[in-house]
Structure 1
Amino acid sequence: MKSTGIAFAVLAAVSVLAHSPAAAQAKIKVGTLTCTGGAGVGLVLGSKKSYSCTYSSVSGKSLEDYAASITKIGLDIGVTEKSVIVWTVLASADALDPRALAGNYAGATADVAIGIGGGAKVLVGGSNNSIVLQPVSVQGQTGLNLAVGVAELSIR
């Protein structure tokens, strides 16, 4: 029953995040950002995890590799193995300049894992705060972890 309550809380948070005002500001899908990594330990007040990311434009003509880190501030307790996070990249124009995703993003986050788990992060940032990263699907991860708070994504 306890895991059902936690799963319900994560699904509710994902729903709220996906319909946030920040997610509604940008309207054009320009591509997909897929990040892999994030194994580590969450401390009571937060965590910082590293990822390797690949951006693919909608047209398929642009493919860029990035290094990224996600810092969570808030409740973050537990251990997770490698995870995969997939975001739809939304912007105000139909194409991005090269390396336009590099920068800092911020937003709300919710994750839970008991064996296998998931989570979501809607983040706003990048070039002049004009890019929105919206979850395509919930994050896939394994381990034992509960995290709720504010996330910052740094893409280099």
Structure 2
Amino acid sequence: MNRLVTAATAVTLAFTAGACMQQSTPQQLNTTNSNSRIYIGALSCNIAGGTGYVLGSSKNMDCVFLGRDGHSAEYTGTINKVGVDIGYTKAVHTVWRVYSLGSDRKPNQLSGTYVGEQSTVAAGGQAGGNWIYGGPNAEIGMVASGIVKDAGYNLATGIAEMSIKLKP
């Protein structure tokens, strides 16, 4: 019974925190971060739905990067999760805030592999957050957080690995 109460409390806190983190559009993020020295744009991704197999999952995605300067590039890739991942999710749309910790990147220079932390809870709606780091010369950091309506039923926490490549 205590475990059920603990799980219910965790879900409630996740949805409460997620409600405070409304997902912005790439254009809104670029306007908000226009004076940042490290923010370079927003990566907007459509991520396929899928089933968590207790210890992990893998989902395909299609993305568009919109640079702070208005230039864009299209990417395709996968996101793999290792850790607790139980349940299923529908296809969702996620927007990543992209930061360059080194040289200024052009929209077509994000291809690579990124690794970091992810946690999501979905019970109809989905709330969660992710941060990943990597890419060319390991100089790119990305953060995604927010709330999605009608996302499925899932509990996931662990390590995320995302690989993206420029569409031909």
Instruction: Flag structure 2 segments of 5+ consecutive residues without an equivalent.
Output: 22-35
Deviation of the 1:27 alpha carbon = 5.5
> Which amino acid is 2:88 matched to?
V
Structure 1 residue 47: deviation in Å?
0.2
CA-atom RMSD in angstroms: 2.4
Distance 1:41 1:27 in 2: 39
> Percent identical across equivalent pairs?
35
Q: How many angstroms does 1:93 deviate by?
A: 5.1
Give the whole-Å Cα distance in 2 for the aligned partners of 1:64 and 1:29.
16
Matches within 5 A, 1:12-51: 28-51=38-61
C-alpha distance in structure 2 between counterparts of 1:139 and 1:64, whole Å: 25
Partners of 2:103 and 2:128 in 1: CA distance: 28
Unaligned runs of 5+ residues in structure 1 are 16-25
Q: Structure 1, residues 59-116: CA drift from partner, whole Å, max 9, x if none?
A: 10x2100002110000001111011111111003573135211000000100110011
- Corresponding residue pairs, total: 142
Matched with 2:108 is 99
Maintained 8 Å contact 2:55/2:82? yes
Amino acid aligned to 2:161: E
- The one of 126, 145, 148 equivalent to 1:140 is 148
| Residues 39, 98 of structure 2: 8 Å contact kept | yes
1:85 partnered with 2:85: no
Greater shift after overlay, 96-105 or 108-117?
Answer: 96-105
From the superposition, tell whether residues 132 and 108 of structure 1 become closer, same or farther in structure 2 (CA, over 3 Å).
Answer: same
Match of 2:13 among 8, 12, 37: 8
Asked if residue 56 in structure 1 is aligned to residue 66 in structure 2, the reply is: yes
